[in-house]
């Protein structure tokens, strides 16, 4: 395994304070995929320490989670730490004979087809999904030592028919009303088109999320009030320019999804977007991000904080 140094790397740009004026709208900047690999977790932890993230979403079925969960103890009071429910491209936390008969989840494309054609609604698959959601939440609590601040889905799987209701039911069953939020990825069509960033992909995700906030509210579950951060992770994308677009217009409690990471041999074998993750890491750690937030008139904050 790659050796881990959980201190902030000396190569990071100097830390510039983020404006903390409490009169400014709160923007929630959340890093996904904590626990995917050492470099992902190390990079996210460094950014939380710098005050450059509102929180992170954790993959608890990976072999790294027990060790990496312990690293979060020092920042748990300053950041949202939640579950990144993982039902694609990884091994499940426990047996899923109907959903993952080979012992490994399939691709997000396969899961979407099954969801949109009603093939996740059978009793056996619903039982597997219910058990797996609970197992991943159990692993979060066992190693983080607390309930999650929020629940969302790796590759947005929590939005899918046949999964969404089970996620909301699990949150409502396990946690006091209002204490754990669920990520709402819906956006108005006009807003997506005006932003002009990978609009087709963003509209698909927004459409899948339609109605989630209403269903969550019926169960006493809070949600964010806007969602940004969708792009194709392609090489050469101007991430600073994308972040500027994601902040327009400023909206209180809007959530921007990011995917930073430090260089990591493990990640290179798992993920096709390693280069873009490192670009995100460098930008979020540097002075330009703090200056952008200041120009936009917003401050970083926790959703329920």
Mark residue 294 as left, alpha or beta (left: phi above 0; alpha: psi -120 to 50; beta: remaining).
alpha
Across the range 66-90, mean pLDDT stands at 97
11 has pLDDT over 80? no
Look at residue 19 in the predicted model and tell me its pLDDT: 60
Helix or strand holding residue 242 (H, E): helix 239-246
Share of the chain above pLDDT 90, in %: 86
84 has pLDDT over 90? yes
User: Using CA atoms, how far apart are residues 106 and 293, in angstroms rounded to an integer?
Assistant: 38
Closest C-alpha to 162, from 223, 113, 231, 91: 113
Look at residue 7 in the predicted model and tell me its pLDDT: 42
CB atoms within 10 A of CB 235: 9
Look at residue 221 in the predicted model and tell me its pLDDT: 98
CB atoms within 10 A of CB 280: 24
Residues contacting residue 10 through CB under 8 Å, at least 6 positions apart = none
Name the average pLDDT for the chain.
92
15 has pLDDT over 80? no
For residues 23 and 259, which has the higher predicted lDDT (pLDDT)?
259
Across the range 18-24, mean pLDDT stands at 74
> Based on the number of CB atoms within 10 Å of its own CB, is 130 exposed (0-12), middle (13-18) or buried (19 or more)?
middle
* Residues 29/285, Cβ–Cβ less than 8 Å: no
8 has pLDDT over 70? no
Look at residue 112 in the predicted model and tell me its pLDDT: 98
Across the range 273-293, mean pLDDT stands at 95
Predicted TM-score of the model (pTM): 0.92
109 has pLDDT over 90? yes
Q: Which pLDDT tens digit goes with each residue over 284-304?
A: 999 999 999 999 999 999 999
């Amino acid at each position: 395994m790659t050796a881990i140094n959980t201190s902030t790397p000396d190569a990071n740009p100097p830390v510039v304070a983020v404006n903390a004026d409490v009169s400014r709208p709160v923007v929630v900047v959340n890093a996904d995929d904590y626990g995917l690999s050492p470099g992902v977790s190390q990079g996210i932890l460094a950014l939380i320490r710098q005050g450059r993230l509102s929180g992170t979403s954790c993959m608890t079925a990976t072999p790294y989670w027990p060790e990496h969960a312990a690293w979060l103890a020092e920042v748990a009071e300053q950041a949202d730490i939640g579950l990144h429910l993982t039902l694609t491209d990884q091994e499940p936390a426990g047996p899923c004979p109907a959903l993952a008969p080979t012992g490994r989840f399939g691709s997000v494309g396969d899961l979407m087809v099954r969801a949109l054609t009603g093939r996740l609604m059978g009793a056996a698959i619903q039982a597997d999904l219910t058990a797996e959601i609970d197992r991943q939440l159990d692993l979060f609590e066992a190693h983080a030592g607390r309930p999650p601040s929020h629940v969302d889905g790796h590759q947005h799987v929590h939005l899918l028919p046949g999964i969404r209701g089970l996620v909301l039911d699990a949150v409502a069953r396990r946690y006091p009303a209002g204490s754990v939020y669920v990520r709402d990825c819906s956006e108005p069509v006009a807003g997506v088109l005006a932003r002009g960033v990978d609009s087709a992909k963003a509209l698909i995700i927004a459409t899948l999320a339609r109605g989630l906030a209403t269903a969550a509210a019926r169960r006493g579950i809070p949600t964010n009030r806007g969602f940004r951060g969708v792009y194709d992770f392609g090489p050469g994308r101007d991430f600073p320019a994308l972040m500027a677009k994601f902040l327009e217009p400023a909206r209180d409690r809007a959530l921007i999804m990011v995917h930073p990471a430090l260089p990591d041999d493990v990640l290179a074998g798992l993920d096709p977007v390693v280069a873009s993750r490192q670009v995100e890491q460098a930008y979020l750690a540097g002075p330009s991000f703090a200056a952008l937030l200041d120009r936009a008139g917003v401050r970083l904050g926790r959703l329920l904080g």
